[in-house]
Amino acid sequence: MHAPSLTLFTLVPLLSAAWLLAPETPSPAGADEPKIAHHYSDLGAGLDESSASCGKCHKTIYEQWKTSRHAAAWTNQPYKDWMAKKSKPESCHKCHIPSSILDIAPKQPKPREDRLDDGVGCASCHVLDGKVHGPHGTQCEAHENVKSKLFESGTVDLCQSCHRVAPKPVISLGKDFEKSDFPAQGKNCRSCHMPDFEGHATFDDKTGEPLGEKRKIKSHAFVGASHEEMTAKAFELKVAKSADGVKLSLHNLAGHRLPGLELRRYDVRFALVDKDGKELTGKDGVISEDEPIKVGTSIDVDLPAQEGAVAARVRLQHFWQAKPKGNWDDKGLALELTKDLSEKKDG
């Protein structure tokens, strides 16, 4: 397969998820499992691998995916702008329009030549040789399903295929993850970037009725730095008081450095505030590709003691550089963390 001649990109982060060691021979679902009856239509003789086709039955997951950076991996304008400046844009295609990762993970996939606008679509992670791979392997009438070890909770190989490499502006988050304590805690990429929700994975494409039992399903929105709840969990503010002042420490609780991509930065304001939230004293800081908070570390700021100070506060403003040699004028998520100074000293 030759690489597509189009020259386009995505600024993904991040985010994104991955899954453990070598590709295995997948095990078909047990023959004793009952098939889910399904009035599927328009599938034709073979499996249509477009994400829109998958969305006919997996509509909740499809709607989540459509909002993700994965879905925009090939079509977003920043990617196109950056690829227009890159001498070998084809080096990025393999992870922005990947063919099936299932038989090559954790190695990098090959780029595909069709369905380019799907970016990192359903088939990239779930389809191989016309069979749909996943964590369960429950059989249905629409297509053959395969239960694959690549989707087990302790694995990260699928994500590592593209998130362990480091062609600029991508950072090798997979290597960061391996150095973190997340694997020892039983956590993986999906723990943060694909949180569970209760629902149905499959719906009848004609009636819209849910099929099978309601269960925990992984979100396919692939949340990242623009998701407030997840980003808030990536940082922790700690304080240590002394006779002269207060040390504010902003800790990285993520499984990789922060920020997770080049071309991203956080402007930070450390402060002591009174009971009304008025700043009494403060200092500015920057978290960037040149000065990240590495895995398991923090950035520390000392502030002088202030009469009337009741809390420490950190405000973070996320920025990204959308264009080559552009300005840092594209604002992302704003986040605020506070810590009551009357609480028992951290540590």
Q: What is the pLDDT of residues 120-163, one digit of tens each?
A: 999 999 999 999 999 998 888 889 999 999 998 878 999 999 99
Pick the more confident residue, 311 or 82.
311
Q: How far apart are CA 224 and CA 96, in angstroms?
A: 17
Mean pLDDT within 301-322: 94
Q: What is the pLDDT of residue 35?
A: 44
Q: What is the pLDDT of residue 237?
A: 98
Residue 2 pLDDT grade (very low, low, confident, very high; cuts 50, 70, 90)? very low
Q: What is the pLDDT of residue 104?
A: 95
What's the gap between Cα 143 and its chain centre?
28
Q: Which domains does the chain have, with CATH numbers?
A: 27-218 (no CATH), 228-340 (2.60.40.10)
Nearest to 216 by CA among 229, 231, 235, 197: 197
Lowest pLDDT segment from 2-11, 71-80, 198-207, 318-327 = 2-11
φ/ψ bin of 107: left (φ > 0), alpha (ψ from -120 to 50), beta (otherwise): beta
Give, in order, the Cα–Cα distances in Å from 140 to each of 134, 145, 238, 288. Answer: 13, 7, 51, 48
Q: How far apart are CA 161 and CA 95, in angstroms?
A: 8
